[in-house]
Amino acid sequence: MNETTPSEPAFDDARFAALPQRPGKIIAVHLSYNSRADQRGRTPASPSYFFKASSSVAASGSTIERPAGTELLAFEGEVALIIGTAARHVSTAEAWNHIAAITAANDFGLYDLRANDKGSNVRSKGGDGYTPIGPLLIDARDVDPEAVRVRTWVNGELAQDDTTAGLIFPLTQIIADLSQHFTLEPGDVILAGTPAGSSVVVPGDIVEVSVDAAGASSGRLVTRVVQGETAFDESLGSLPSVDEKQRVEAWGSAEAAGVAEVAPAPALTAELREKLHRVPVAGLSAQLRKRGLNNVTIDGVRPLHPEAKLVGTAKTLRFVPHREDLFASHGGGYNAQKRAFDSVGDGEIIVIEARGETGSGTLGDILAIRAHARGAAGIVTDGGVRDADAVTAVGIPVYTAGAHPAVLGRRHVPWDLDVTIGCGGTTVQPGDVIVGDRDGVIVIPPSLVEEVVDAALTQEDEDAWIAERVAEGNALDGLFPMNAEWRARFEAAHTEEPQ
């Protein structure tokens, strides 16, 4: 048998023309600009990253293929940092000394593959040509890392324009943070994230990115979008798929994506709050039941302040069962629990999913004080409260499944916030209206709150009138509920002109 040696794959050095060498690592930041965070409606507490293959690098003037059968190829103009000297465990003060140069980059992504990548971006951002870089390097020694401008044009129209002064995390923090996890080696590239304005491009579009700093420019990094002819093979892996969420995030807005934007929940006005304070939870429960909503009570919780009425909108916090490795990664530092209590707004109620587990506290007096200082309307947890007397003394309405002296980590890991949760056997979404009294706590969909509270107030008037008739000695039959005769008397009594 004759043996043949496979030919070596061609190495196209032109792809790396703007760089001092082929990078060993390309590290990209997930979400880093305030403008982008505002657009997405979420702000990370700390930077997070993903890797891109060096084979995705392309030079200015290259093309990028939108694969057959896909629709959501999006551009992201970014600042690229080129590592000059190795950095390991460096401080923010010395971080910039390890950067040799900066230039323009385009962190293209295929949102059709994004959901299945689950944050890794291996397929959605790792394709050939998905990381154009260049064309010119700017000496980093002359650059103020907080005064770098990045701009992107699509077919000559300006689409992105921001500076690194708008970063959530300064460039020096990003460098220092990465260096505590692994060595940044000469030639490595850091992509510093994209500002607002990223959107979808289609075959025929021309995308240009420019970075400017210290009077110097990278020049325009030019990429042309072309249509690919090869489709993905479903026998090898998951196929591209899109939904409204991916379309909105790829295009940058519901309007641009042609998707009907979900109407915001009606505001809980001062008038509505006042009405809800007047209506007992039992009355609200009856009205929700009439509308087919039975599983809307947060069961198993009792108030630390039985005399106080609880009214507000839900801000949700979710705990998962304790696991040592997960508590090590999510339990310490600025975890989800602390972020929830630090960000709760005026009139909001922190609602905590603790799975009915009362074997540890889910909050203590310090967190209750923080929520009170932020103007929170209350706290509801289907778990325990630690330092119950001290929490009660704070004065903020709290509903809990009981008291327990143990700290959080005995049973729980603080996992995430502002998500749909289950508390006391019912589902709670951010923005749901929460009302509590001695009878318990009820959850009202925001779209129904005005209708329900008005109906409950009307029913309260009827019930008060019926109670007066019963006190006068009338029998319940025909009166509770009212038959036609009693209904006529009630309506006549309520339409008489005041004397």
Q: Where are the domains of the chain?
A: 13-257, 295-444
Separation CA 336–CA 344 (nearest Å): 12
Residues in contact with 321: Cβ distance below 8 Å, sequence separation at least 6, in sequence order = 355, 357, 411, 412, 413
> What local confidence, expressed as pLDDT, does residue 499 receive?
42
Mean pLDDT, rounded, for 368-394: 96
Phi, psi (5° rounding) for residue 147? Answer: -135, 50
Mean pLDDT, rounded, for 239-259: 84
> What local confidence, expressed as pLDDT, does residue 12 receive?
52
Higher pLDDT, 289 or 255: 289
Separation CA 445–CA 420 (nearest Å): 13
Give percent of the chain above pLDDT 90: 73
Residues 493, 465 contacting (CB under 8 angstroms)? yes
Quote the pTM value: 0.56
- Please say if the pLDDT value at position 356 is more than 80: yes
Element (H, E) at 270: helix 270-278
Residues in contact with 102: Cβ distance below 8 Å, sequence separation at least 6, in sequence order = 79, 80, 81, 82, 137, 138, 140, 143, 148, 211, 213, 218
- Please say if the pLDDT value at position 378 is more than 80: yes
User: In a 3-state reduction of DSSP, which class is residue 275?
Assistant: helix
Q: What is the mean pLDDT of the chain?
A: 91
User: In a 3-state reduction of DSSP, which class is residue 282?
Assistant: helix
Give percent of the chain above pLDDT 70: 95
> What local confidence, expressed as pLDDT, does residue 54 receive?
96
Greatest Cα pair distance in the chain: 115
DSSP string, 106-125: E--EEGGGHHHHTT--TTTS
Element (H, E) at 452: helix 449-471
Mean pLDDT, rounded, for 312-324: 95
**pLDDT digit string (tens) for 440-462?**
999 999 989 999 999 998 888 87
Closest CA to 272 of 452, 461, 427, 398: 452
> What local confidence, expressed as pLDDT, does residue 467 receive?
87
Separation CA 434–CA 448 (nearest Å): 12
13-257 CATH: 3.90.850.10
**pLDDT digit string (tens) for 76-124?**
999 999 999 999 999 999 999 999 999 999 999 999 998 878 778 999 9
Closest CA to 386 of 354, 415, 417: 354
pLDDT band (50, 70, 90) for residue 241: confident
- Cα dihedral across residues 461, 465, 470, 476: positive or negative: negative
- Please say if the pLDDT value at position 3 is more than 50: no
- Please say if the pLDDT value at position 1 is more than 50: no
- Please say if the pLDDT value at position 497 is more than 60: no
In the β-sheet with 49-52, what is the strand arrangement from edge to edge? 49-52, 26-29, 189-191, 77-83, 99-106, 138-139
pLDDT band (50, 70, 90) for residue 267: low
pLDDT band (50, 70, 90) for residue 251: very high
Residues 351, 317 contacting (CB under 8 angstroms)? yes
Residues in contact with 151: Cβ distance below 8 Å, sequence separation at least 6, in sequence order = 77, 158, 160, 161, 209, 210, 212
**pLDDT digit string (tens) for 400-414?**
999 999 988 889 999
Q: What separation in angstroms does the CA of 87 have from each of 23, 24, 195?
A: 15, 14, 26
CATH architecture of the domain covering 295-444: 3-Layer(bba) Sandwich (3.50)
DSSP string, 366-388: HHHHHHHHTT--EEEESSEESSH
- Cα dihedral across residues 82, 84, 85, 91: positive or negative: negative
Separation CA 408–CA 384 (nearest Å): 9
Mean pLDDT, rounded, for 354-378: 95
Query: Other C-beta atoms within 10 Å of 414: how many?
Result: 24
ω into 135 cis (within 30 of 0): yes
Higher pLDDT, 142 or 333: 142
> What local confidence, expressed as pLDDT, does residue 261 receive?
55
Q: What is the 3-state secondary structure (H, E, C) of 182-247?
A: CCECCCCEEECCCCCCCCECCCCCEEEEEEEECCEECCCEEEEEEECCCCCCCCCCCCCCCCHHHH
